[in-house]
Structure 1
């Protein structure tokens, strides 16, 4: 194994491995060698030395090897820099110092591709260390800014931007603002000075195109950093220097230089805000004239800068209007001029969309009505900005045809947020905030003309109807959500009349004849999706056959939108009950046909795993249908499982689409959950079809799929009726307990779920084979990790629930010792919360041979009076903190603490007697917290599954819990027959009062009056 000091020999060997990673034949072995070397001290600094060229000790390295080293260094930092208390640090303290001492200097001198990798690595280090453990970083960056070396400046500013842009996604907090303040104190003044210096050089070098190109690269980074620094709040420095900054931004919003960037301008006259140009929109019903170079997609440097300045203006208009107000009118005028003089080429799409977004933000507040109230202003905005940018262009249609799933993804998920069309649609809604009736009237004329033009020649004029429907949706849906579609409808648009006269006829037209253009079919399906929540069930039932028929449409975009429409309709909830509107009986007649057609769509995706898994929208619709039809899937279950398992086996060869993977396994989980539950004799058939696929995934170590396999296995195991572990599962238990599987974080929650199933099914076998210690070894590993401690408690709860106390007795001391070690050495609020819930679970469980007295004794054997200390310093402070928020947790606490008081003789002696008033007060306080309807511990799990949005369960790259499998929930309250925890508390307290009146009266006398009154009321309410 390499000794990772940066000698010539080691650098040569390491660079050889990096070179081999570029060779497909040698790559796997080289990557294994690099993985082995990663563990050695000095690995990171050696990589940096290679990025720098290797130094004088070895021959100059080629660019590919240096690039490979830079990428490896970035990934090394990403993987190991952030420390986890539960695992040894893979980056030594000396290496951390060496890396931070050299990486900024090196980043400045290397080429741009290498700069980008090192800049990202610096940002990753800053995520953890800056500013507390790297307080020199900003001074290092500022100190290296150069008045002449623009390549170095690009690296410095790119690094600064990489660090500062993190703030955009962060939640406002004291720590965040402290970090921003730290940066501003060191960065603001040199930043403004450097901005002004760059501006002067641009002016001086107006004819030097190569120099201008470098300067505009710098300017773009400067305006990006401006956005970063101003995103969370308006800094005092920027407010004090508002005029200087706004003059600079306005200058470059209006800047032109034909030598630097080829431009296409309209022949127009500049306008002032509030006095727009004469219309240049196409005549109503006519498509916009296509620009000859519509496919020109290369965005120039000036365009990039202008687009970023529009984003800044939008930010200031939305958040800092009071300070920005005196500059707002000039920016409105400049942006209007920009919009009316910019061509339709694709290279201007980002600029135009951001410019429209700024005007939209200005249009929304009522106080800005004066910008749009002058005669003809609204009509000219509609005609000059909205209509020309709302029409489908040649490039849009090419994408529709060449990349169907990509087109759907961008359209349905907002990936087109920076397109002209989406921006124009948003502007319509923005204008309607204050000019609803006026805007509706203006566009209604266009809509009518476009629809009339379509009817004159449907084949030739399909673009007219496409524009009309897009415009109608924008006008009609005044507010929307992904879950419901349109939530507020324009009262001036009869949406149902539009559906009946302009949408349904094209939806009902034959899908194979080609009489209706595929884009129009998609538009009609989108209209139905948007307004689905405003239709009755009967109306949806009538339109559903037309939707289903589009699964046979030859265009994949149309078929995919049909699947999306079906999924959205099936997810609609009845407004009166909150339950799903559609039930199994509604789909039973067509369920098999629908699933068969959608599976065929998936299978037609292509022979490669990547193409097969491309269409997650169809797979999600299959999942939704299976969840709705539930056990009604029985007649065709064998074929469904066979095809689904075949798809999973194929995509496991190269998992490429996490959403598709998730929905495929959710579908499997739903089939097991409902079909096997109803017909236990189908279990063997399920296992016969699924286990070969699962075993293949486990044997080939498909990391993305293993957590899913473990979850489905746990589900299947739990459905076995025999009171022991079946032979097929028994053979895999030993490997599951080995450390290797637990190294992957994604496996941990799913493995715990599977081990819980083993404990529930075969506790006696586990005891007989002396495997308890192995289970507790897993618990020990999990409980020591800040990331996984909750899973340790989950596993331990199942151990206590199933393993007899006598078999656990030899291990109990160590079980609690490990918890106390965490509490004393690296306690977190999450761990303390989980610890208190675990104690209350044991107290509520009243496990045979291990009740409240035994729990107290277990702790006190570790240290005298330890449980009393924990009660005062951990349990009661946690309860009073208000962290116990969930209704089921609150109920568990009430029963656990009640049992502690009333079922433990030890609690009736000193030093515990002094705790009674505090414990009773916390129980009473918790009981007074209102419980939301349906939020109790015994809520119907199936209803919860039916009503949730599956994709909202939180897909992560490493692990995603299957909602159809669910968590294993142990309810000690249900096991004890407790239905009302307040009644239980009062009943147990009344028994105590009868048994030990002195103790009871002494405790009550020390309660606050309001608590004492509540206790007396509770006691009087039970007989």
Structure 2
């Protein structure tokens, strides 16, 4: 069967014939000359069009798959060099003569080749393109030239600086010709002219995305190009009611004209938005553009808006969106604001408001696909390309940046609209009412701002216009009423009856027949718990509310619902404890359902479909992530119920197995937190958890190595709370050591990951005393090799953790560790590093570890201590006293951090939502608006400049930030926590004084008066601590006796 027959067979309605043809095509790929034959079939004008298309699609896919030799693609058959050269010679001539329906395939082929070959490996392509562009007598050639130039500009689309120097030359050579072509096309009406003009404008658009070349900044370029864009914007187009006008070539051309005008102004031509290096690069251009050109664009846009308001023209959604974005950009500069200002009232009432109101399409989505409606409309899956969100952003910008002139007018319009709707009774337009409420909700943070003149009026507004809508026959108004309560969560109701009505209404909406209403009710209920009255009222209902939330989350995947559940689990943990098992089972089932649906959808995904499977999977992943967070919060709330936790571990086993077994890396962080929470809360490792440990080890070796930082807390728990099992089961301990060895040896991992290795090794040394002797040399070697290799350790925190790994070895077994250091020649370098950095041991843990290690050294029989080390005993004593001198402050810092954690406000997220905003009308209303929008961007730009210039080095970073990186970790538990360092010190020197008086005298006899006083204060504190401990022990003992006495 020849090539033409093969492609014809792939179109056969018989699936067996199709499958056999596809198999033969795959087998033929290795045949010499096969790609040339396919090329002929795809390019032949004598060929049946369907067969030609099939061959072109195959050719495109083969080039996309095989142009690069990629070992990650299974059974890839790379294209030979002679095949590539043949394709490069043929592709442009074929594109010139290709039928319209086949052009997209050849364009994709061209795109793939240019991305890999241009300009270095295809130097003649630019000259070919220029020749095609100049052959304006042949439309096919000109069209092909435009396609070629567009694909060239796409090569440079995301390149900047020196990487796009060639593009500047290309612009100089081609854009004058391109401009003439565009000017010749704009006055025509044919579909072909529209398609070619679309390409002209898209070429320009592709060249200005990241940077604006100096050639395009020049007046000789910006004026004629800008005039062309304005001609396209204002060009009347014939009416077409087929519902697909926005995808026609002429409307796409208009879209790119709007885009380019907006991009020129918003990114390069607006001085108020320039930041960092862009100020120097574009300030001159921006000053001229904002004064001379931006006002002309605004006038043109306003003309189009007025025609739209009068219903004399139709505008596509993207053109409307770009118009609104441009109007928003005109708010801050004085030169455009003075032109925009007189039109604001008309724009808000007749242009912006209609965009905010619900459309027929919205209501159709509400009825037929409520999940889609929720994701598009209810503010937590915002569609930033839609006109309604663009209109909301414009409205908020007006009220914030030009408050004095616009804010009260906007509220006046809203009030008159709602009053008119209220008076209309049965003739009211519910869509306008919903749109007006949405406008108010968008301005909530301004309305409730500190010193706002209208915040005190809002309770009356809610009573008149919001609370009644909970009873509306229109579901979208009930949903909006819930959303308004969410937006105005910080509104303080003077009449608590009104707050009670709102709460009761939201509870009723939780059982509404419409899914979007139930979702909005759930989201509104969450912030209401900041009101004590509502929180108390919810206590008796919380199990039923959680049941409703779980049911709703099984009807629609919205990650915000999981956030609500997580908050409720945290706040109402005591009330939910009796239902913990049932709740966990429901959450597990919800998670497994979401994951199964995600897998099923991926299996159904057809690369040739328009359906965006990645977006679907992302939505599912977010919902699944939210469920896992809720499970984690629930587990932490059950810390004092070990028997319940054991049940939960078994319930969650399938979830953990699914994620780790199937390498769902997007959820690794959350599942590691759940394992951490289970083991930390129960303070033991169950048989179920040891099964999970085996999965963890395998996961680490397969795909989890890069997640060692997230995995560390649960691994630490396995060592800390499973020490007995590790002693009894060498396989488990070997797995822990294997992880540590891999972290230290893998080239994939860096300093931060090796810090995790140090922490895990420390857990082994502190918790498995006497059971880790065989690993002592390995730990000490790993640390000292890095500490003594020049340039290896570049941050202070890494250096401290490496030092502490050796210090841990000393504390574990001082004699064996000293022997290793002596054998390797590391003794002097280690002790020098230890006491050079002793001031950097800022945390309680750091100080106590060094104290324990030094006391262990002093406790050694002197005959086991090398003479070279004994000579440094006085310095070691001084270091010990230095550690104790800083210990009280470190303990105080830790206590303060523990208090901060304990005193965190449960409702902090709600209380601060709008509290930072203040009412300010002081700025001169018609001057340029200078605000804080760009301060952060300026900071980032300055930091980027430093990095690029090399003025920031790792050494600088270490000096400035290194010590501060070691912060207290109040939730981090180790066996050192149980050791009283003061008592340890007292007992050591008491023993030395009696058993080794010569050593005692050598250590204490050289102390200064200040050091003697410090020594005595440590002993005195030890006496106090010992008395307190005995008192506490006796009190606890008496309490136990009383409890046992009948």
Please tell me the TM-score bracket, short chain as reference.
0.5 to 0.7
Matched, 1:777 2:777: no
* Structure-2 residue corresponding to 1:813: 777
Indicate the residue corresponding to 2:1034 in structure 1.
Answer: none
Out of 380, 394, 399, which is 2:360 matched to? 394
Aligned-pair distance for 1:520? 1.6
1:665 aligns with 2:668: no
Equivalent of 2:547, from 581, 585, 596? 596
Q: Report the CA distance shift for 1:75/1:778 in structure 2 as closer, same or farther (over 3 A).
A: farther
Q: Does the 8 Å contact 1:356/1:427 carry over to 2?
A: yes
Match of 2:254 in 1: 303
User: Quick one: distance in 1 between partners of 2:569 and 2:16?
Assistant: 42
What secondary structure is seen at the aligned counterpart in 1 of 2:330? helix
Note if contact 1:107-1:119 (Cα within 8 Å) is conserved in structure 2: yes
Q: Which residue of 2 aligns with 1:985?
A: none
Whether 1:349 aligns to 2:329 is: no
The alignment of Structure 1 onto Structure 2 pairs a total of residues equal to: 854
Displacement after TM superposition at 1:594 (Å):
0.8
Q: Deviations over 1:978-998 (max 9, x none)?
A: 89xxxxxxxxxxxx9997699
CA distance in structure 1 between the partners assigned to 2:908 and 2:108 by the alignment: 41
Contact 2:356–2:392 (CA under 8 A) maintained in structure 1:
yes
Distance change >3 Å, CA 869–CA 903, structure 1 → 2: closer
Partner residue, 2:468: 506
Distance 1:136 1:826 in 2: 40
Inter-partner Cα distance in structure 2 for 1:404 and 1:263: 32
Is the 8 Å Cα contact of residues 357 and 435 (structure 2) preserved in structure 1? Answer: yes
Whether the 8 Å contact between 1:521 and 1:558 is mirrored in structure 2 is yes
Structure 2 counterparts to residues 229-378 of structure 1, below 5 A: 229-230=210-211, 238-239=216-217, 241-255=218-232, 262=238, 297-298=246-247, 300-312=251-263, 313-315=265-267, 316-317=269-270, 318-319=273-274, 320=283, 321-324=286-289, 325-342=291-308, 348-365=316-333, 369-372=337-340, 376-378=342-344
Q: Secondary structure at the match of 2:170?
A: helix
* Pairwise CA distance, 1:91: 12
Residue 530 of structure 1 is matched in structure 2 by: 487
Question: How does 1:927-946 map onto structure 2 within 5 Å?
Answer: 938=898
Q: Following the alignment from structure 1 to structure 2, what is the Cα–Cα distance between the partners of residues 360 and 679?
A: 56
**Normalised TM-score (structure 2):** 0.66
Q: What is the CA distance between 1:135 and its match in structure 2?
A: 9.4
Aligned to 1:171: none
**Contact preservation (8 Å) 1:567, 1:624:** yes
Q: Does the aligned pair in 2 maintain the 1:451–1:468 contact within 8 Å?
A: yes
Query: What CA distance in whole angstroms lies between the structure 1 residues aligned with 2:76 and 2:821?
Result: 38
Which of 703, 706, 727 is the equivalent residue of 1:743? 703
The correspondence for 2:646, drawn from 681, 684, 708, is 684
- Specify the alignment match of 2:376 in structure 1: 410
Given that 1:477 and 1:488 are in contact with CA atoms closer than 8 Å, whether structure 2 keeps it comes out as: no
2:518 to 559, 572, 576: 559
1:618 paired residue number: 561
Aligned residue runs from structure 1 range 719-868, under 5 A: 719-720=681-682, 725-731=685-691, 733-734=693-694, 736-738=696-698, 742-743=702-703, 752-771=712-731, 772-783=733-744, 784-787=746-749, 790-791=752-753, 793-803=755-765, 804-818=768-782, 832=795, 835-839=798-802, 841-842=804-805, 848-850=811-813, 858=820, 861-862=823-824, 864=826, 867-868=829-830
Deviation at 1:812, TM superposition (A): 3.3
**Relative to structure 1, is the Cα distance of residues 189 and 449 closer, same or farther in structure 2, using a 3 angstrom cutoff?**
same
Higher share in helix: 2
1:969 matched to 2:972? The reply is yes
Give the deviation of 1:923 after TM superposition: 9.9
Q: Distance in 2 between the 1:391 and 1:836 partners? A: 60
Counterpart for residue 550 of structure 1: 509
The CA deviation string for residues 33-82 of structure 1, in whole angstroms up to 9 with x for no partner, is x9xx9xxxxxxx999999998789999993454455466569997x969x
- Are the aligned partners of 1:615 and 1:660 in contact in 2 as well (CA < 8 Å)? yes
Counterpart in the other structure of 2:434: 466
1:426 to 383, 393, 396: 393
Mapped contact 2:478–2:517 kept (Cα < 8 A): yes
Partner of 1:195: 175
- Residue aligned with 1:737, SS: helix
Tell me how far apart the structure 2 counterparts of residues 426 and 119 of structure 1 sit (CA, whole Å): 39
- What is the DSSP-based 3-state SS (H/G/I as helix, E as strand, rest coil) of the residue aligned with 2:247? coil
Secondary structure at the residue paired with 2:316?
Answer: helix
Instruction: Check the 8 A contact 1:47/1:69 in 2, yes or no.
Output: no
Match of 1:277? none
**Which secondary structure does the structure 1 equivalent of 2:812 belong to?**
coil
In structure 1, the partner of 2:674 is 712
Question: Which of 613, 630, 634 is equivalent to 2:573?
Answer: 630
Among 55, 72, 92, the residue aligned to 1:62: 55
> How far is the alpha carbon of 1:462 from its aligned partner?
0.8
Q: CA deviation at 1:824?
A: 9.3
Task: Note the 1:51-90 alignment, pairs <5 A.
Answer: 62-69=55-62
**Gap change, CA 1:1018 and 1:55, over 3 Å in 2:** farther
**CA–CA distance in structure 1, aligned partners of residues 1001 and 113 of structure 2:** 69
Question: CA 1:822–1:145 in structure 2 vs 1: closer, same or farther (change >3 Å)?
Answer: farther
Name 1:448's counterpart in structure 2. Answer: 415
Aligned CA distance change for structure 1 residues 69 and 970 (closer, same or farther; 3 Å): farther
What is the distance in 1 between the residues matched to 2:534 and 2:867? Answer: 53
Residues 1:685 and 1:972: Cα distance change in structure 2 (over 3 Å): closer
Give the whole-Å Cα distance in 1 for the aligned partners of 2:175 and 2:874.
Answer: 68
- Measured after TM superposition, the shift of residue 534 of structure 1 is 3.9
Displacement of 1:664 in angstroms is: 1.0
C-alpha offsets along residues 129-156 of structure 1, whole Å, 9 cap, x if unaligned? xxxxx99489788666444466766666
Q: Greater shift after overlay, 688-697 or 218-227? A: 688-697
**Judging changes above 3 Å, is the alpha-carbon distance between structure 1 residues 475 and 619 closer, same or farther for their aligned structure 2 residues?**
closer
Q: Structure 1: give runs of 5+ residues left out of the alignment.
A: 1-10, 38-44, 82-89, 127-133, 167-178, 265-291, 480-485, 575-580, 606-611, 951-965, 980-991, 1005-1013
Matched, 1:674 2:612: no
| 1:629 shift after superposition | 0.9
Contact 2:898–2:970 under 8 Å retained in 1: no
Q: Secondary structure in 1 aligned to 2:771?
A: helix
RMSD: 6.0
Unaligned runs of 5+ in 2: 43-50, 96-101, 134-140, 275-282, 599-616, 858-864, 911-968, 983-998, 1021-1046
Deviation, 1:662, is 0.9
Structure 2 CA distance for partners of 1:935 and 1:229, relative to 1, 3 Å? farther
Cα displacement (A) at 1:949: 7.3
Contact 1:447 1:472 in 2 (8 A): yes
Cα distance in 2 between the residues matched to 1:967 and 1:157: 61
Summarize the Cα distance change of 1:834–1:523 in structure 2 as closer, same or farther, 3 Å threshold.
Answer: same
Superposed displacement of residue 937, structure 1 = 5.6
C-alpha contact (below 8 Å) 1:868/1:912 kept by paired residues: no
> Could you say what secondary structure the match of 2:546 adopts?
helix
Separation in 2, partners of 1:617, 1:245: 46
Query: Cα gap change, 1:68/1:384 in structure 2, threshold over 3 Å: closer, same or farther?
Result: same
TM (norm. structure 1) is 0.68
Alignment of 1:144-155 (within 5 A): 145-146=129-130, 147-148=132-133
**Higher relative contact order by CA 8 Å / sep ≥ 6: 1 or 2?**
2
> Deviation of residue 591 (structure 1)?
0.7
Q: 1:219 to 1:378 in 2, by over 3 A?
A: same
Find the partner of 2:202 among 203, 212, 221.
Answer: 221
Cα deviation, residue 519, structure 1 = 1.9
Q: What is the DSSP-based 3-state SS (H/G/I as helix, E as strand, rest coil) of the residue aligned with 2:384?
A: coil
Larger Rg: 2
